């Protein structure tokens, strides 16, 4: 279960505080429920996803994770000056797998398909390479909830199929919270929806109801 309590978010730039991206979001994401985050570009979907995953923080409010939640697959959280291998080693140690580093590194390297770039600084990676590394890192550990930001769109068609197949395997034993612009992907993996509109979040038990509400708002 994930509890989102009165979460507000805005970013401060050189011009001062920006507009509120999220405004007073409160809801409970129940266990074993896969959820799609939907809304127009810039609505705050990825922002909320990062906050749920713990790599960004609300300006006000809080998130309680009463389960094991992955970092956003396909998002940030990597240290750019370290190599892919060094990032993977660090994550293994943080998660208490000191005695299994070699085995997990082998899996991560094989799945991410980075070749020699696995030993290059992450800051030299393309966005697709970073997404593949993040995806492989998440697969290497067991979570109750996996968080995905367009991760199944990373790479070429063969890797996208590989990622989708792996996601199916995860969905059979855990839940996902997903951002994707591909409606068929959302329908494949999610049962419920959170529609973010004008900084507010609306919960729908049924994904189809959420998609219909979103599409109706888009109509002129």
φ, ψ of residue 181 to 5 degrees: the values are -90, 0
Mean pLDDT, residues 72-88: 81
Instruction: Give domain 2-218's CATH architecture.
Output: 3-Layer(aba) Sandwich (3.40)
- List the beta bridge partners of residue 145: 69, 175
- Report yes or no on whether pTM surpasses 0.85: no
Segment (H or E) for 202: strand 200-204
* Per-residue tokens: 136: 């492989």
**Confidence band, pLDDT 50/70/90 cuts, at residue 96:** low
Distance CA 166, CA 152 (A): 10
Is residue 181 classed as helix, strand or coil in its secondary structure?
coil
Instruction: Read off the pLDDT of residues 43-66 as tens digits, 9 standing for 90 and up.
Output: 999 999 999 988 899 999 999 999
Where exactly are the structural domains of the chain? Answer: 2-218
DSSP 95: T
Is residue 37 classed as helix, strand or coil in its secondary structure?
strand
Beta carbons of 125 and 79 less than 8 angstroms apart: no
Beta carbons of 83 and 119 less than 8 angstroms apart: yes
Q: What angle (nearest 5°) sits at the alpha carbon of residue 139, between those of residues 47 and 180?
A: 40
Distance CA 165, CA 65 (A): 27
Distance CA 147, CA 177 (A): 5
Instruction: Read off the pLDDT of residues 122-153 as tens digits, 9 standing for 90 and up.
Output: 999 988 888 888 888 888 888 899 888 776 55
- List the beta bridge partners of residue 194: 37, 203
Cα 188 to the center of its chain, rounded Å: 16
**Confidence band, pLDDT 50/70/90 cuts, at residue 157:** confident
Of 82, 89, 11, nearest to 50 (Cα)? 11
> Can you give the pLDDT at residue 142?
83
**Confidence band, pLDDT 50/70/90 cuts, at residue 156:** low
């Amino acid at each position: 279960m994930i509890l989102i309590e009165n979460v507000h978010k805005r970013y401060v730039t050189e011009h001062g505080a920006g507009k509120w991206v999220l405004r007073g979001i409160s809801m409970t994401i129940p266990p074993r429920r896969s959820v799609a985050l939907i809304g127009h570009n810039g609505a705050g979907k990825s922002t909320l996803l990062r906050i749920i995953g713990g790599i960004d923080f609300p300006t006000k409010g809080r998130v309680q994770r009463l389960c094991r939640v992955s970092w956003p697959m396909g998002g940030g959280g990597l240290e750019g000056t370290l190599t892919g291998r060094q990032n993977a080693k660090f994550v293994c140690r943080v998660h208490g797998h000191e005695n299994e580093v070699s085995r997990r590194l082998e899996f991560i390297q094989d799945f991410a398909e980075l070749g020699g770039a696995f030993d290059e600084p992450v800051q030299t990676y393309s966005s697709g390479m970073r997404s593949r590394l993040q995806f492989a890192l998440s697969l290497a550990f067991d979570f109750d909830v996996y968080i995905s930001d367009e991760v199944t769109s990373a790479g070429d068609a063969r890797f996208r199929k590989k990622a989708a197949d792996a996601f199916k395997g995860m969905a059979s034993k855990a839940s996902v919270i997903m951002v994707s612009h591909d409606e068929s992907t959302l329908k494949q993996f999610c049962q419920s929806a959170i529609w973010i509109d004008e900084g507010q979040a609306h919960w729908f038990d049924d994904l189809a109801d959420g998609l219909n509400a979103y599409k109706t708002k888009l109509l002129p």
